[in-house]
Amino acid sequence: MSNENLREHTFDGIQEFDNRLPNWWLWTFYLACIFSIAYWVHYHTLGTGELPIEAYTIEQQVAAARLEAELAKNPVTDELLLKLAKEPAVVAEGAKIFKDPGKCALCHKPDASGLVGPNLTDAYWIYGNKPMDIYTTIRDGRPGGMLAHKDQGPLFIQRATAYVLSIMNTNVPGKPPEPNAKKQ
């Protein structure tokens, strides 16, 4: 550090050297620039990377697919249906089915508070609120106007069941309990 490197300005008698920045420091800076461009292109321009929220959604879908595959191999039980009802990706699929204006929502309303069909969020059930009761109701239908959904396949019935279980006892104000329903 010679005097040649002294910069011209002086503040309160303090002078400054004009030294080269150390190479190791410069390289951390250059690499950070290169990294940021690569990051931007990978995640935001080409979209080849998964942002955390996408990665999370994919993870949930994988978990849901694994459970659904397990269900396909085994007989459906209360326990397996309850597990499904805790999988956000399955419940989300079930919600899509339920809220479809031409499906469940047509008779139960999108919020499940009841219209032609009963309120599914209260504590009163005609055919029981055990997971297999609900599964059977959706699969085979019920004589009072509940349609059978056998022809929609097992995935449809499982997802719809998972959704109904997920909203159970949320008590959305709506249709009063049916006269033949029992408190569960």
- Residues forming the site for ligand HEC (CB under 6 A): 97-98, 103-104, 106-108, 116-118, 120, 125-127, 134, 137-138, 142-147, 149, 160, 164, 181
SS3 146: strand
Q: Give the nearer residue to ligand HEC in terms of CB position, either 57 or 174.
A: 174
Residue 71 C-beta: closest distance to ligand HEC, Å: 17
Distance CA 33, CA 173 (A): 56
Rg of the chain on CA atoms, in Å: 30
And the tokens for 14?
Answer: 């303090």
The residues, any chain, with a CB within 8 Å of residue 7's CB and separated by 6 or more, are: 15, 16, 17, 18
Q: Give the nearer residue to ligand HEC in terms of CB position, either 63 or 123.
A: 123
Q: Give the nearer residue to ligand HEC in terms of CB position, either 80 or 159.
A: 159
Q: Give the nearer residue to ligand HEC in terms of CB position, either 49 or 176.
A: 176
Give the total residue count for the chain: 184
**CB distance 164 to 106 below 8 Å:** no
Q: Give the nearer residue to ligand HEC in terms of CB position, either 64 or 166.
A: 166
Q: Give the nearer residue to ligand HEC in terms of CB position, either 57 or 136.
A: 136
Distance CA 175, CA 18 (A): 80
Count of other CB atoms within 10 angstroms of residue 111? 17
Residue 149 C-beta: closest distance to ligand HEC, Å: 5
Residue 117 C-beta: closest distance to ligand HEC, Å: 3
**CB distance 118 to 181 below 8 Å:** yes
Residue 146 C-beta: closest distance to ligand HEC, Å: 3
Residue 107 C-beta: closest distance to ligand HEC, Å: 3
Residue 64 C-beta: closest distance to ligand HEC, Å: 18
Nearest residue (beta carbon) to ligand HEC: 144
Beta bridge partners of 124: 183
